[in-house]
Amino acid sequence: MASGRFLWQSRAALAVAEKDMRIYYLKPPVLIFGIFFPVCLFLAFAFGRNIPMPVLLPGMLGMTLFFLSSSTSPLVAPWETLSRTLERLVSTPASITAIVAGDIFAGAVYGIGISLFLLAVSVAALGIAPVHPLVVGIDICLSAVCFSALGSLIATLPTDSPGNIMLVLNVIRLPLIFVSGVFMPLGDMPAWGRTIAACSPLTYTCDLARHGLLGSGYFPAALSMGALAAFTVGFCVLAVFLHKKSTPRRLA
Protein backbone atom coordinates (compact mmCIF):
# COMPACT_ATOMS: atom_id res chain seq x y z
CA MET A 1 0.00 0.00 0.00
CA ALA A 2 2.78 2.42 0.93
CA SER A 3 4.65 1.61 -2.27
CA GLY A 4 1.48 2.23 -4.28
CA ARG A 5 1.02 5.66 -2.71
CA PHE A 6 4.67 6.47 -3.38
CA LEU A 7 4.35 5.51 -7.06
CA TRP A 8 1.15 7.55 -7.41
CA GLN A 9 2.73 10.62 -5.82
CA SER A 10 5.81 10.14 -8.03
CA ARG A 11 3.59 10.21 -11.13
CA ALA A 12 1.87 13.30 -9.74
CA ALA A 13 5.25 15.00 -9.28
CA LEU A 14 6.17 14.20 -12.89
CA ALA A 15 2.83 15.60 -14.07
CA VAL A 16 3.51 18.82 -12.14
CA ALA A 17 7.00 18.99 -13.64
CA GLU A 18 5.58 18.56 -17.15
CA LYS A 19 3.11 21.37 -16.48
CA ASP A 20 5.91 23.66 -15.27
CA MET A 21 8.04 22.86 -18.31
CA ARG A 22 5.25 23.77 -20.72
CA ILE A 23 4.22 26.96 -18.92
CA TYR A 24 7.32 28.49 -17.34
CA TYR A 25 10.38 27.65 -19.44
CA LEU A 26 9.73 30.52 -21.87
CA LYS A 27 8.51 33.09 -19.36
CA PRO A 28 10.43 36.40 -19.72
CA PRO A 29 11.83 36.36 -16.12
CA VAL A 30 13.23 32.87 -16.68
CA LEU A 31 14.88 33.80 -19.99
CA ILE A 32 16.23 37.12 -18.69
CA PHE A 33 17.51 36.05 -15.27
CA GLY A 34 18.29 32.46 -16.25
CA ILE A 35 20.19 32.94 -19.51
CA PHE A 36 20.85 36.52 -20.60
CA PHE A 37 21.82 37.96 -17.22
CA PRO A 38 24.54 35.40 -16.31
CA VAL A 39 25.96 35.49 -19.85
CA CYS A 40 26.22 39.29 -19.75
CA LEU A 41 27.70 39.20 -16.25
CA PHE A 42 30.32 36.67 -17.27
CA LEU A 43 31.27 38.55 -20.43
CA ALA A 44 31.52 41.81 -18.47
CA PHE A 45 34.01 40.19 -16.12
CA ALA A 46 36.02 38.24 -18.71
CA PHE A 47 36.23 40.87 -21.45
CA GLY A 48 39.61 42.56 -21.61
CA ARG A 49 41.20 40.37 -18.91
CA ASN A 50 44.20 38.23 -19.67
CA ILE A 51 42.70 35.01 -18.29
CA PRO A 52 42.71 31.82 -20.40
CA MET A 53 39.20 30.66 -21.24
CA PRO A 54 39.79 27.09 -19.95
CA VAL A 55 40.47 28.61 -16.53
CA LEU A 56 37.23 30.61 -16.68
CA LEU A 57 35.13 27.68 -17.94
CA PRO A 58 34.43 26.03 -14.52
CA GLY A 59 33.21 29.34 -13.12
CA MET A 60 31.06 29.93 -16.16
CA LEU A 61 29.54 26.47 -15.80
CA GLY A 62 28.84 27.02 -12.10
CA MET A 63 27.26 30.44 -12.63
CA THR A 64 25.16 29.18 -15.54
CA LEU A 65 23.87 26.27 -13.49
CA PHE A 66 23.17 28.58 -10.56
CA PHE A 67 21.05 31.03 -12.52
CA LEU A 68 19.33 28.54 -14.82
CA SER A 69 18.30 26.03 -12.17
CA SER A 70 17.07 28.64 -9.70
CA SER A 71 15.00 30.63 -12.21
CA THR A 72 11.98 28.38 -12.80
CA SER A 73 10.99 26.98 -9.39
CA PRO A 74 10.70 30.39 -7.64
CA LEU A 75 8.05 31.58 -10.12
CA VAL A 76 5.57 28.74 -9.79
CA ALA A 77 3.98 29.39 -6.38
CA PRO A 78 3.55 33.18 -6.69
CA TRP A 79 2.43 32.98 -10.32
CA GLU A 80 -0.17 30.32 -9.61
CA THR A 81 -1.33 32.20 -6.52
CA LEU A 82 -1.76 35.32 -8.65
CA SER A 83 -3.62 33.47 -11.43
CA ARG A 84 -5.79 31.54 -8.94
CA THR A 85 -4.71 28.14 -10.27
CA LEU A 86 -2.96 27.05 -7.06
CA GLU A 87 -6.26 26.14 -5.41
CA ARG A 88 -7.15 23.79 -8.28
CA LEU A 89 -3.72 22.12 -8.05
CA VAL A 90 -3.89 21.68 -4.28
CA SER A 91 -7.41 20.22 -4.51
CA THR A 92 -6.06 17.23 -6.46
CA PRO A 93 -4.84 14.12 -4.60
CA ALA A 94 -1.24 15.25 -5.20
CA SER A 95 0.46 16.06 -1.90
CA ILE A 96 2.36 19.30 -1.24
CA THR A 97 5.54 17.21 -1.21
CA ALA A 98 4.78 15.88 -4.72
CA ILE A 99 3.94 19.37 -6.01
CA VAL A 100 7.18 20.85 -4.63
CA ALA A 101 9.16 17.87 -5.94
CA GLY A 102 7.71 18.46 -9.41
CA ASP A 103 8.63 22.15 -9.29
CA ILE A 104 12.19 21.31 -8.23
CA PHE A 105 12.53 18.62 -10.89
CA ALA A 106 11.37 20.98 -13.65
CA GLY A 107 13.88 23.62 -12.57
CA ALA A 108 16.68 21.07 -12.40
CA VAL A 109 15.95 19.70 -15.88
CA TYR A 110 16.01 23.24 -17.26
CA GLY A 111 19.41 23.87 -15.71
CA ILE A 112 20.87 20.53 -16.76
CA GLY A 113 19.69 20.72 -20.35
CA ILE A 114 20.90 24.21 -21.20
CA SER A 115 24.11 23.89 -19.16
CA LEU A 116 25.07 20.71 -20.99
CA PHE A 117 24.44 22.41 -24.33
CA LEU A 118 26.50 25.48 -23.42
CA LEU A 119 29.26 23.28 -21.97
CA ALA A 120 29.40 21.16 -25.12
CA VAL A 121 29.67 24.27 -27.30
CA SER A 122 32.37 25.77 -25.07
CA VAL A 123 34.42 22.58 -24.94
CA ALA A 124 34.20 22.16 -28.73
CA ALA A 125 35.15 25.80 -29.33
CA LEU A 126 38.11 25.63 -26.94
CA GLY A 127 39.27 22.23 -28.13
CA ILE A 128 39.56 20.77 -24.62
CA ALA A 129 38.22 17.56 -23.15
CA PRO A 130 37.04 17.14 -19.54
CA VAL A 131 39.60 15.27 -17.46
CA HIS A 132 36.87 13.49 -15.46
CA PRO A 133 33.57 13.52 -17.41
CA LEU A 134 31.76 11.54 -14.69
CA VAL A 135 32.65 14.18 -12.09
CA VAL A 136 31.33 16.89 -14.40
CA GLY A 137 28.07 14.96 -14.83
CA ILE A 138 27.63 14.44 -11.08
CA ASP A 139 28.40 18.11 -10.48
CA ILE A 140 25.81 19.29 -13.00
CA CYS A 141 23.04 17.00 -11.73
CA LEU A 142 23.64 17.61 -8.01
CA SER A 143 24.01 21.36 -8.46
CA ALA A 144 20.91 21.67 -10.63
CA VAL A 145 18.70 19.98 -8.02
CA CYS A 146 20.36 21.97 -5.21
CA PHE A 147 19.82 25.37 -6.85
CA SER A 148 16.29 24.51 -8.00
CA ALA A 149 15.45 23.55 -4.41
CA LEU A 150 16.90 26.86 -3.24
CA GLY A 151 14.61 28.66 -5.69
CA SER A 152 11.60 26.71 -4.43
CA LEU A 153 12.59 27.63 -0.88
CA ILE A 154 12.62 31.34 -1.74
CA ALA A 155 9.17 30.94 -3.34
CA THR A 156 7.67 30.33 0.11
CA LEU A 157 7.89 34.06 0.88
CA PRO A 158 4.40 35.52 1.51
CA THR A 159 3.81 37.30 -1.79
CA ASP A 160 1.88 36.62 -4.99
CA SER A 161 4.19 38.83 -7.08
CA PRO A 162 6.76 36.93 -9.19
CA GLY A 163 8.76 40.15 -9.47
CA ASN A 164 9.16 40.38 -5.70
CA ILE A 165 10.39 36.79 -5.55
CA MET A 166 12.94 37.36 -8.32
CA LEU A 167 14.14 40.53 -6.59
CA VAL A 168 14.76 38.67 -3.32
CA LEU A 169 16.37 35.79 -5.21
CA ASN A 170 18.83 38.11 -6.95
CA VAL A 171 19.70 39.76 -3.65
CA ILE A 172 20.82 36.29 -2.57
CA ARG A 173 22.36 35.12 -5.84
CA LEU A 174 24.58 38.09 -6.65
CA PRO A 175 26.56 38.14 -3.37
CA LEU A 176 27.00 34.36 -3.57
CA ILE A 177 28.61 34.71 -7.00
CA PHE A 178 31.34 36.99 -5.69
CA VAL A 179 32.17 34.92 -2.58
CA SER A 180 32.03 31.46 -4.16
CA GLY A 181 35.15 31.27 -6.28
CA VAL A 182 33.33 31.80 -9.56
CA PHE A 183 35.82 34.37 -10.83
CA MET A 184 38.70 33.66 -8.45
CA PRO A 185 40.14 30.25 -7.47
CA LEU A 186 39.73 29.49 -3.78
CA GLY A 187 43.49 29.13 -3.34
CA ASP A 188 43.94 32.81 -4.29
CA MET A 189 41.47 34.01 -1.64
CA PRO A 190 42.47 35.20 1.83
CA ALA A 191 41.65 32.91 4.74
CA TRP A 192 38.52 34.86 5.70
CA GLY A 193 37.32 34.70 2.10
CA ARG A 194 37.70 30.90 2.01
CA THR A 195 35.75 30.66 5.28
CA ILE A 196 32.84 32.60 3.79
CA ALA A 197 33.07 30.66 0.53
CA ALA A 198 32.76 27.35 2.37
CA CYS A 199 29.22 28.37 3.43
CA SER A 200 28.01 28.64 -0.18
CA PRO A 201 26.85 25.67 -2.28
CA LEU A 202 28.04 27.46 -5.42
CA THR A 203 31.62 27.19 -4.10
CA TYR A 204 31.46 23.40 -4.28
CA THR A 205 29.83 23.50 -7.72
CA CYS A 206 32.69 25.56 -9.17
CA ASP A 207 35.38 23.59 -7.34
CA LEU A 208 33.93 20.28 -8.50
CA ALA A 209 33.76 21.66 -12.05
CA ARG A 210 37.48 22.44 -11.84
CA HIS A 211 38.11 18.84 -10.77
CA GLY A 212 36.08 17.49 -13.67
CA LEU A 213 37.21 19.88 -16.40
CA LEU A 214 40.80 20.69 -15.40
CA GLY A 215 41.75 17.86 -13.05
CA SER A 216 42.43 20.09 -10.04
CA GLY A 217 40.42 21.75 -7.28
CA TYR A 218 40.82 23.22 -3.81
CA PHE A 219 38.66 20.71 -1.94
CA PRO A 220 38.73 16.93 -2.45
CA ALA A 221 36.10 15.97 -5.01
CA ALA A 222 34.34 13.67 -2.52
CA LEU A 223 34.04 16.54 -0.03
CA SER A 224 32.48 18.83 -2.65
CA MET A 225 30.01 16.12 -3.65
CA GLY A 226 29.08 15.51 -0.01
CA ALA A 227 28.63 19.23 0.66
CA LEU A 228 26.41 19.64 -2.40
CA ALA A 229 24.35 16.62 -1.38
CA ALA A 230 23.93 18.03 2.14
CA PHE A 231 22.85 21.43 0.82
CA THR A 232 20.42 19.71 -1.58
CA VAL A 233 18.77 17.64 1.13
CA GLY A 234 18.58 20.65 3.46
CA PHE A 235 17.01 22.92 0.84
CA CYS A 236 14.52 20.25 -0.27
CA VAL A 237 13.38 19.41 3.26
CA LEU A 238 13.07 23.07 4.23
CA ALA A 239 11.25 23.94 0.99
CA VAL A 240 8.64 21.21 1.54
CA PHE A 241 8.19 22.18 5.19
CA LEU A 242 7.72 25.89 4.44
CA HIS A 243 5.42 25.26 1.46
CA LYS A 244 3.17 23.20 3.74
CA LYS A 245 3.05 26.20 6.06
CA SER A 246 2.62 28.89 3.39
CA THR A 247 0.15 27.21 1.02
CA PRO A 248 -2.91 27.54 3.31
CA ARG A 249 -2.13 31.26 3.69
CA ARG A 250 -1.89 31.66 -0.10
CA LEU A 251 -5.33 30.06 -0.49
CA ALA A 252 -6.96 32.19 2.22
Encode pLDDT of 157-193 as tens digits. Answer: 877 787 788 888 888 888 888 888 777 778 778 888 8
Q: Output the pLDDT for position 251.
A: 67
Does residue 46 have a pLDDT over 70? no
Cα separation, 180 vs 162, in Å, equals 26
Rounded to two decimals, the pTM is 0.90
Decide if 150 contacts 201 (C-beta within 8 A): yes
Query: How many percent of the chain have pLDDT more than 90?
Result: 27
Mean pLDDT computed over 88-114: 88
Mean pLDDT computed over 23-34: 75
Does residue 134 have a pLDDT over 80? yes
Q: Output the pLDDT for position 179.
A: 84
Give the CA radius of gyration of the chain: 18
Cα separation, 243 vs 181, in Å, equals 31
Q: Which domain holds residue 48?
A: 2-251
Does residue 232 have a pLDDT over 90? yes
Mean pLDDT computed over 146-152: 94
Cα separation, 229 vs 100, in Å, equals 18
Mean pLDDT computed over 79-101: 83
Decide if 230 contacts 61 (C-beta within 8 A): no
Q: Output the pLDDT for position 109.
A: 93
Split into its structural domains, the chain has a count of 1
